Amino acid sequence: MKKNNLPTPGEKPQTERRFAFGKENYRIMFIGLGLIALGFLLMIGGGSDDPQVFNEAIFSTRRLTVAPILILSGFVTEIVAIMWKPKN
């Protein structure tokens, strides 16, 4: 019977395997990916089929303001998900 938890000379030490991220980290990452995807989806469209006709829709508030803010908030959320340390 061993008195301590140290391995004997021929025995390999038992190491506890843990993942780099926990369940909460992955949940936050998926939220960030959703924000990024939603931002890029909001940028779609606004073009013109005829190159001689100018379409004002490319300068909408949705494409110039809302979508980039969503994309940036998604990237910030990804950074938070990577840096988040679980409580256990």
In a domain, 17, yes or no: no
- In this structure, is residue 42 part of a structural domain? yes
pLDDT tens digit string along 34-65? 999 999 999 998 777 888 888 888 889 999 99
Asked if residue 6 belongs to a domain, the reply is no
23-32 confidence digits (pLDDT tens): 999 999 999 9
For the chain, the domain total comes to 1
Domain that holds residue 52: 23-83
Instruction: Tell me if 14 is assigned to some domain.
Output: no
- Note whether residue 65 is domain-resident: yes
Residue 13 lies in a domain: no
Secondary structure letter of residue 65 according to DSSP:
I
In this predicted structure, what is the pLDDT of residue 10? 73
